Amino acid sequence: MTLMAYNHVPVPAFMYGTAWKKQATRELVQLAVELGFKAIDTANQLIHYDEALVGEALHALAKKGIAREMLFLQTKFTPVSGQGGRSPYDASADLAAQVEQSFASSLSHLGTDYLDSYVLHAPYSRRGLSQADWEVWSAMEDLYRSGKTKMIGISNIAAGQLADLCERANVKPMMVQNRCFAALGWDMQVREICRAHGVIYQGFSLLTANGAVLADPEVRVIAEKLKASPAQVIFRFAMQIGTLPLTGTTDIQHMKDDLRAEQLTLSAEEIRKIETIAL
Ligand SMILES: NC(=O)c1ccc[n+]([C@@H]2O[C@H](COP(=O)([O-])OP(=O)(O)OC[C@H]3O[C@@H](n4cnc5c(N)ncnc54)[C@H](OP(=O)(O)O)[C@@H]3O)[C@@H](O)[C@H]2O)c1
């Protein structure tokens, strides 16, 4: 199954996230791809990710016949404030140069000459978009126009900010990646804006941010009916509402289970129930 944003690049419907894997990053990325994940998410942010080890995994996979072109690679530009003092670019350079340097360093870590998706890790301001956001976005637009990345996107963005970006940018984002809380209707407002603009919505922390939903008796009944786990039900629910889920599992059985979620089918009534379960 693939998804498509307004610029018609096919994107696999499930993504493997590489945060917090540390030294196990290489082994886990290899395993995830060998088991069937076709899209990888990382970031050039040393405090949470190890892009270079993702690159080593890709190198090992290529040797086994899984070429880079067979995979969808997404990484992020992380502003200085999110780098914990270990910025992979010159933190005193102007913002456009920071994006350029970080992008070049990502390509080098990942051993590739292009990205499928390049994401701004978070806006610089909590409310509205600041001058810094527009400067960085303009540098990302340049990368998109140059063909070095097939898509550009933004993460951790509020509905008002996204509406503004979609309206005023020269190149609208093709991707949004947000933490997805059931209590906010699974980020309903942001998802609506994405739908209206042909932007793919990626949801993370679907399980970890929604513990009560996983334990909910109604979700458990649906899971039992489908002979699946509540986690699988949530991943499939996400896909059926048009969300691209991320999983960061470190467990081989969970990797298999998560992938198998693609084969489940929830009824319209079950979808409606889960979509509004925490409202
Ligand atoms: N843009 C951002 O700011 C941002 C922030 C956070 C995350 N992300 C991205 O999103 C990715 C995923 O992050 P996340 O927060 O969703 O996940 P996560 O923190 O990696 O957690 C996934 C959790 O779900 C469990 N799990 C997965 N599949 C399961 C299953 N079938 N049954 C039971 N438990 C299961 C995992 O446990 P096991 O390991 O035991 O399976 C783990 O505890 C990250 O790696 C990163 O790429 C982005």
Distance 217 CA to ligand 1 centre (A): 23
Q: Greatest CA span in the chain, whole angstroms?
A: 57
- Which residue has its alpha carbon closest to ligand 1 atom 17? 248
Cβ < 6 Å from ligand 1: which residues?
17-19, 41, 121, 155-156, 177, 204-208, 229, 231, 246-251, 254, 257-258
Task: Tell me what pLDDT residue 184 has.
Answer: 98
- Ligand 1 mutation target, pool 246, 250, 258, 259, most atoms within 8 A of CB: 246
CA–CA distance, 210 with 250 (Å, rounded to integer)? 19
pTM: 0.98
pLDDT at 96: 98
C-alpha–C-alpha distance, residues 33 and 31, integer Å: 6
The token pair that represents 85 in the structure block: 């003092």
Nearest C-alpha to atom 40 of ligand 1 is from which residue?
251
Mutate to test the pocket of ligand 1, among 254, 255, 260, 262 (most ligand atoms within 8 A of CB): 254
> Which are the contacts of 185, defined by CB distance < 8 A and separation ≥ 6?
275, 276, 279
Q: According to the model, what pLDDT value does residue 216 have?
A: 98
Residue nearest to atom 20 of ligand 1 (CA): 248
Give dist(CA 124, CA 214) in Å, integer: 33
Q: pLDDT at position 122, please? A: 98
| Predicted local confidence at residue 277, as pLDDT | 97
Residue ranges in the chain modelled with pLDDT below 70: none
Residue 208 alpha carbon to ligand 1 centre in Å: 7
How many Å lie between the centroid of ligand 1 and the Cα of residue 26? 17
147 φ, ψ (degrees, to nearest 5): 85, 5
Q: What is the pLDDT of residue 102?
A: 98
Nearest residue (by CA) to ligand 1, atom 41, is: 249
Q: How far apart are the first and last CA of the chain?
A: 30
pLDDT value for 160: 98
Q: Which pLDDT belongs to residue 255? A: 98
d(CA 227, CA 223) in angstroms, rounded, equals 6
> If you measure from the C-alpha of residue 196 to the centroid of ligand 1, how many angstroms do you get, rounded to a whole number?
28
- Give one DSSP letter per residue of the chain, joined into a string: -EEE-TT--EEES-EEE-TT-GGGHHHHHHHHHHHT--EEE--S-TTT--HHHHHHHHHHHHHTT--GGGSEEEEEE--GGGTTT--SS-TTS-HHHHHHHHHHHHHHHHT-S-BSEEEESS-SSSSS--HHHHHHHHHHHHHHHHTSBS-EEEES--HHHHHHHHHH-SS--SEEEEE--GGGTTTHHHHHHHHHHTPEEEEE-TTTT-HHHHH-HHHHHHHHHHT--HHHHHHHHHHHTTEEEEE----HHHHHHHHHGGG----HHHHHHHHTTT-
Query: Could you report the per-residue pLDDT of 218-268, keeping only the tens digit for each?
Result: 999 999 999 999 999 999 999 999 999 999 999 999 999 999 999 999 999
Predicted pLDDT at 106: 98
Atom 1, ligand 1: which residue's CA is nearest?
155
Q: What pLDDT was estimated at residue 157?
A: 98
Report how far ligand 1's centroid is from the alpha carbon of 274 (Å): 20
Q: Name the residue at shortest CA distance from atom 30 of ligand 1.
A: 254
